[in-house]
Chains A and B, each alone.
Chain A
Amino acid sequence: MSIYDKIFKPKVYTLPNGKTVEKKASRMPVYFILVFLMCAVSVKVTGFDMKILSERIGQFFVILGEMFPPNVSYIEKVWSPLFDTIKMSLLGSALGALLSVPFAMLASTNVCPNKVVVSVIRVMFSLIRTLPTLVTALVATLVFGLGTLAGTFAIAVFSFAYIGKLTYEEIETVDMGAFEAMEAMGATKARAFISAIVPQVLPFYLSNCLFNFEGNVRYAAVLGYVGAGGIGLILNEKISWREYSSVGTVLVALFIAVFIIESISRMLRKKLV
């Protein structure tokens, strides 16, 4: 019995057959107070003010109103950066995902018996994941120069850590029976891995890769801010020139592209899993 139950006594019910059952007091109030306290601190620190929000929310739609109707004639200049963005995310996602496979193998306890290696690789994965993609992109633009190469690199690094983590978690939950049987029959570890574990993991791995790619297309639009190429570049340019109708065109084009990619990827993922 925890301390909480000692302070707030559980309710005791007597059943018709004479037995007594206890219903522990709900912990809801504690959680509620905790969340409320955190909200209060947050409101204080961030200066959240409902009054300003309700009075001035109309301003939010001013820019949105200027974006529509979008500047249709600008669409010609959107195509090439848009495809750059898609290519950038495609290449980056693929590179990152492929690179992560051997590391994911080393990070799963059932394939790699060496505990030190497992924990080193896992720490590496989580450290890379905490690194904001924007920072990676900024560093990449300094190292590789401005352009899509930097964006591709940043996306590859993020995909590497993201896919890697999901993959090693997936590898750890597979049925090891087939793997052990193959090893017992004299297959090498690599051979057994390919024939026994890959077929179990592959659908989830591919599905994760597609999902990651979807997200990266969206995210690549932000990378332009640090000069890492793609549609973000013209988006920033138009925002800083306050040509909001052109911004609207860019956003509509991006929306359509994301919609198409998401539909294809959802179809493929449904087939996979």
Chain B
Amino acid sequence: MNQRIKEAYEKRPRTWIYHLAIAIIFVGLMIWSGTAVETAGTTMDGGEIALNIIKGIFQPDLSFLFNLTTKGVPYLMLETICIAFLGTIVGAILSVPLAFISASNLTPKPIAFVGRIIIMAVRTIPAVVYGLMFIRVTGPGPFAGLLTMGVCSVGMISKMYIEAIEDLDTRVVESLDAAGCDTWQKIRYGILPQLLPNFASTAIYRFDINLRDATILGMVGAGGFGAPLIFAMNSYKWNEAGAILAGLIVLILIIEYISTQIRVKLTRG
């Protein structure tokens, strides 16, 4: 018995050359990327600044945090939720046609490829650039923010939609066809029940991400908590920044909990 184990152990695959090659490539890449690390140096002592930041964040400006007018944290959070919510809906609606065009099991390969390139191009343009474009359309404010968020969501949402569409079980549609259903009935009872839970789950997931990413909108003055947060940080008002961050963390944790519950329910049916 022991002999056989030893024999089997001797015959174990020797992959050290392969592992060594990967390790060398990895270390090489790290050294290559390490060459880019540079800093202009700080005027003040970095440690002291870090300490101030932490102090400020743990002593949030309470009057700002619980200010119920349109200038307080609760209203900023409400505005952000609204931007993220409508933005997600806009993104989800825009993604549906794109996803159907790019799903390789429905459309011919060349068209699907073009669709994928379009999605990738939409994803590559940074949110800042979209923000600027939309501010020309609507003027600064939450309206521009929600449009920016919508377009930024298209990339991820349509990618997940494509996967859902490509996973469609076509046998259901075939059997409905055999049972004599017309096209509308086939879509209603064969396709929608398969797609809707997936689509809804993706949209909710993206809503989560959009809430987190709403800071970016502040950079272009497109509403939400981003602009006040960045202003507060740039002028070293750490108490105010701390208040906004505290509100944000509570909000995100609550929304994440709710959205996880809904998504678990959706996937279990």
Contacts and interface: CB of A to CB of B under 8 A. Distances in A.
Contacts of B256: 126
B215 A90 contact: no
Given A39-B89, A87-B36, A225-B219, A53 B137 contact: yes
Contacts of B30: 90-91, 94
Interface of B: 26, 29-30, 32-42, 46-47, 49-50, 53, 78-79, 81-83, 85-86, 89, 120-121, 123-129, 132-134, 136-138, 141-143, 145-147, 212-213, 215-216, 219, 223, 226, 229-230, 233-234, 241, 245, 248-249, 252-253, 256
A45 B229 CA distance: 20
Contacts of B82: 41-42, 45-46
Contacts of A94: 26, 29-30, 33
B137 A91 contact: no
A143 B50 contact: yes
A20 interface: no
A148 B38 contact: yes
Nearest to A232: B126
A47 B143 contact: yes
Nearest to A90: B33
Can you list the 6 inter-chain pairs with the closest CB atoms, starting with the nearest? Answer: A87-B36, A87-B33, A42-B82, A147-B39, A46-B142, A132-B215
A62 interface: yes
Contacts of B143: 46-49, 52
Interface of A: 38-39, 41-43, 45-49, 52-53, 56-57, 59-60, 62-64, 83-84, 86-88, 90-91, 94, 126-127, 129-132, 134-135, 138-139, 142-150, 152, 218, 221-222, 225, 229, 232, 235-236, 239, 247, 251, 254-255, 258-259, 262
Contact of B36 (A84, A251, A259): A84
A183 B110 CA distance: 54
A91 B33 contact: yes
A146 B39 contact: yes
Contact of A59 (B137, B219, B229): B137
Given A90-B30, A129-B212, 18 more contacts: A46-B83, A52-B143, A57-B137, A88-B37, A130-B212, A130-B248, A130-B249, A132-B215, A134-B219, A138-B234, A139-B50, A218-B126, A222-B216, A225-B128, A225-B219, A239-B129, A255-B124, A259-B120
B134 to A, nearest CB: 7
Contacts of A127: 249
A144 B129 contact: no
Given A46-B145, A60-B136, A87-B36, A139 B121 contact: no
Contacts of B125: 251
A148 B128 contact: no
Nearest to A147: B39
Contacts of B123: 218, 258
Nearest to B249: A130
Nearest to B117: A259
A227 B212 CA distance: 20
A42 B86 contact: yes
B37 A149 contact: yes
A86 B30 CA distance: 11
Nearest to A49: B143
